[in-house]
Amino acid sequence: MNWKEKLYNENEKPLDNLVSGYSHTSIFRRIAFIGDSLSSGEFETCDKDGNKAYHDLYEYSWGQYIARKNGLTAFNFSRGGMTASEYIESFGDANDLFNKDKACQAYVIALGANDIHSGIEIGSVDDIDTRDFTKNKKTFIGYYGAIISRYKEISPDAKIFFVTFPKDESRTSNPNFQIFYNELYKLTEVFSNSYVIDLYKYGPVYDEQFKKKFFLHGHMNPSGYILTAELIDSYIDYIVRHNPKDFKNVGFINSGIEFKF
């Protein structure tokens, strides 16, 4: 076996290989998934009169699929309809999500689907005050940055992954998408230990044929959430394998054991 070629192939691109069995995501024993309906295993129903209803079934979320596969503990810090502003202004504190007892080694943030349609200004990383999140401007990126800062308070060495939208015309045609997409990469320059999971660049296209197989009305079906789990899991695996120095001390995060990165 050529382990260098297998694990550190310089020509490999994210999602060239979907992992099976344990992935390198399993180096994290506690992960939190922060997001909206797309992170919550939400199923959409529609009755004969066209009335829709929405149901968060967390055991079907892609985060929980990743957890069961890798034998780790995952927390759904998410809810259908969530926006970054609601998360930081009420949801996070109301659900005690910034409690140090709930600190994780990694956080996967998949917000934005509701925000870019809400009318809120997208803003930029210039809206973030890393010393005092309460001084962030009230823009989407300002609120997004505040979420990161709150979790860095309880888990300063945690790894943070920002998830982009996939290639879905219903979202990526929005003029706010490109602004948001560009700012996600800039966030990695503002916050240490952060990475982008770029499903827009490397993931599948969510076209009509894709949605026939993996969607239930406007949200995913069970197979769609399994596929998303495979994509996110494989992407984190790729990031870990290609940045070994960044992740060699993960086992010490929140352990109380002093270490140096």
116-150 pLDDT tens trace = 999 999 999 999 999 999 999 999 999 999 999 99
Give me the pLDDT at residue 169, please. Answer: 87
| pLDDT attached to residue 6 | 73
Q: What does each C-alpha distance from 23 to 67, 79, 120, 235 come to in angstroms?
A: 11, 26, 37, 10
Give residue 2's pLDDT.
Answer: 83
Q: pLDDT exceeding 90 applies to what percent of the chain?
A: 90
Average pLDDT, the chain: 95
Q: Give residue 170's pLDDT band: very low, low, confident or very high (50, 70, 90).
A: confident
Task: Report the pLDDT averaged over residues 36-52.
Answer: 94
pLDDT at 260: 66
Residue 32 in this model has a pLDDT that exceeds 70 = yes
Give the DSSP letter string of the chain.
Answer: --HHHHH--TT--TTSS---SS-GGGG-SEEEEEESGGGTTEEEEE-TT--EEEEE-GGGSHHHHHHHHHT-EEEEEE-TT--HHHIIIIIHHHTTTT-GGG--SEEEEE--TTGGGTT-----GGG--TT-GGGS-SSHHHHHHHHHHHHHHH-TT-EEEEEPP-B-HHHHTSHHHHHHHHHHHHHHHHSTTEEEE-HHHHS-B--HHHHHHHEETTEE-HHHHHHHHHHHHHHHHHHHHH-HHHHTTGGGTTSS-----
For the residues 62-70, what does the mean pLDDT come to? 98
- Asked if residue 87 has pLDDT above 90, the reply is yes
Identify the band that residue 1 occupies on the pLDDT scale cut at 50, 70 and 90: confident
Residues 40 and 61: beta-carbon distance below 8 Å: yes
Average pLDDT over residues 157-170: 95
**% of the chain surpassing 70 pLDDT:** 99
193-252 confidence digits (pLDDT tens): 999 999 999 999 999 999 999 999 999 999 999 999 999 999 999 999 999 999 999 999
